[in-house]
Chains A and B, each alone.
Chain A
Amino acid sequence: MFGVSSILRRGRRVQCLRCALAAFLAMVACSQALQGGDEKPLPAQSVDKSAERIPGGHVPTFPDLADKYAKLEESADDWETEEFHNLLKTRVKLFEGGFVKEDGFTEALAAELAAPEFASGELRPSKLASVFDDGVLSCVRGEAAAAGGAERGPAALLRAARALRAPFAGGSDIKFTFKVFQIEPGAAATKVGLLISAFGKVGERRLQQNATWQSEWTNAQGAPPKLLSVQVSNFEEASCALAGETLFSDCTEAALGKLDAYQQQIRQHVMHWMANLDVVNGVTVSGHKGIAIGDVNGDGLEDLYSCQPGGLPKKLFLQERDGSLRDASRGSGTDYLEPARSALLVDLDNDGDQDLVLQTVFHALFLENDGRGVFARRSSFRTPSGIAVSAADIDGDMLLDVYVCCYSSPFERKPPLPYHDANNGSPNFMLRNLGGFRFEDVTANVGLDQNNTRFSFAGVWEDYDNDGDLDLYVANDFGRNNLYRNDGGRFRDVAADAAVEDISAGMGVTWADYDNDGYMDLYVSNMFSSAGGRIAYQKRFQDASHAEARAAFRRHAKGNSLFHNEGNGTFADVSFESGTTMGRWAWGSVFLDFNNDSLADIFVPNGFVTSESTKDL
């Protein structure tokens, strides 16, 4: 097939213009009216004929995308660091090229990268100490020695780089990745903060190196920058020795591969369904389609319920004894075709089986299990823009109540305002279970209507103050989160007092007592944006804004947050020192113990929108 888009696109721009003009006329921009009439007290009148007029009124626009596309070329956005960043990337790529090859660090390469005055400490500390070793996973760390010796220039870089690469000698599948998180232009040199990660297979081990590089680069006009120095911190080397395996193995095909539902429906990218379904069905680009795990038919094996875009049936998969899945959707009463976002398998009527709460885009549906995995829809509650559901018995009547987080799409007619602290989203719902699958909205009755118009993604229950009742933490996009403390059935938002407002793009919540002090700690998924970091660190960024707003913007790009519960009702932000911020564009992070050592590890599912296009916004 061949695209004919360029012809149409050109036409489209002209039409847009025409349309904009018409809209402009329609909205009576007034100034014309002021210009008319008799006004001659000054000698000779000449009105400003060329002045631009303000377009009026609500104009839902499809703005010309040309300039937005242009902005994808980073240098076109006029942040000076972004220009430098483009130059810099080519340099670090050279380093990467040297790293991934056996003996890839050559004198020529070093000469191209390092300035003659280059001086650096170790890139891989010579003194490394074990901080963890359970026989499978291990981790060593060390402080890199600062620049010391007399060696300067490319030779110094060559020696340090080869030492860094040495653990990967003889390895395969070697990768080197970097993120530029900070650029500070200076008169003599530009300071660049890099997050470095390298990994590969070496014999039976899988190896990963992580480090932070504070580096300095020359400011040569037009010419590619050269390295002046590197100071390494946070160096760690982790390995997994499991007969060449990773700790987790992808057994998707074994579990699902034999099912038509997998081959034809689940395996397909959301974009495939965006392209092949009528828009009225509700397939959206975001792909927020959750899962619920529970034993649906009481056979002692856990089963899986999977939410799906509109127009595609939700899937109920029952587990077989061999661990694979059987598609039990048809006839189960759960294979709805409306767009759904999340689900819970919980016993809503205390009859010993797992009922289903299904959150569609419009409603929370409540379905009763007959005990054998066949469900009947008993009721529904309107919860517009609903996303995530979670359950807790908040009134002690033995019945599970349901909290629904609602999110207004910023892409509809309600962009978040203001971006870093938006308060114009859809309200969340606290639905009280009255028994018999009847629910009532008690949001206001219990005080959960405070700060309840944010763009909420997740509400997760936990008793953070160990007073025996469940409190609720709500992660909100574009701004501050809520910590609703439960005071005898009444809730109060104490996020600010507890120091867990975490102003940023909150997307997920998980709790665990990671330091085993008896108090539950909090981990919140946010977004780590190295571009955001680079720009937000620049003074020019939001020059006119308050320092506070600037800090909030900065936080927005900083990444995930780990809050240590201090046991006195407040939390300490230990995100940076715990090394857990860089979760990229993170969603449903969870604490779990990977390796049965009784300590809470963290898994961060992430990535926003990947398409075939290699261009990224």
Chain B
Amino acid sequence: MKTRITALLLTLTFLAGIGYVAWSRFSSFHNRNYLVGIVNPNKGSAEIVRGFMEGLSSFGFQEGDNVIYTKCEQEDQIEAALHDMVARKMSLIFTATTPATQKTMKAIAGGNIPAVFAIHDPVESGIIKSLSEPGGDLTGVQICGSVPKTLEWLLALVPGIKRVYVPICFDTKAASQSLASLRQAARSLGVTILEGEVRSEEELDAALASMPEDADAVILLHSMLISTHADKIAQAALLRKLPTAAAIEKCSEGVLVSYCPDLYRIGRQASRLAAQVLRGASPADVPSETAEFFLGINLNTADKLGLKIANDILLQADEIIR
């Protein structure tokens, strides 16, 4: 009788051991389903989202496989959407634009939902404490670029510019931040800034129609409205034979020169951070990063403007659109 009991115990132990090993092997994150929310009211920066999603899938978070995305791209629906996301206990929320990120930060406060952002200046906006130690529920990518250098490049391409028209909408903190640094740079370079505040698309249209006559160039700064209608502005400038420099996004049609981060890359960079958070890291422990920025020159636009860009400058460009 005792022999049988011993044999039974041994067999059970053996099976238990095997079972444990099997369980530990097979219980990986692949079995989990992740709910990821995306909040990006800036239609102009849709590339960020694409980069984010593709980036996440390269880290093993496939949509349809183990990730379900919930997007909100309407500015007026953000609060409701966030409320909903919180209620559904999202694994992660990715936000772009400062206002959206601020709302997200409020929504997830005190909860267990982490968030990853891609905004202009998170430290200045109070989203994080510092880049290396975010210290909260959010981490992400800083995409401030360099407005002074944008101006510098503009002048390098088209020397003799004295007055630059800046359409601006203060729908994001980034706008005032970038405007402030533009003013400073302009002073250093001896350039005058012609500010044109607009609050809506109608006003923008009106402003474009009534661009100052003595503007030598146009510069696009961070703001959602501007970003959304960057093409329109650039076209308008082109009509006036004015070179446009963009500090916000790559030179699309009509923009002569851009010196800013790549939206897609930003998304991918953010996705790398998001992957770490999804794998269990706390946002407080994942340092926020700055996005790389690139010099882009659109030769087509240069052609249309009748400009000849020196080879030395072209050599320095990271991207040339021909």
Please determine whether chains A and B interact with each other in the same assembly.
no
Residues of B within 8 A of A (CB): none
- Which residues of A are at the interface with B, using a C-beta cutoff of 8 A? none
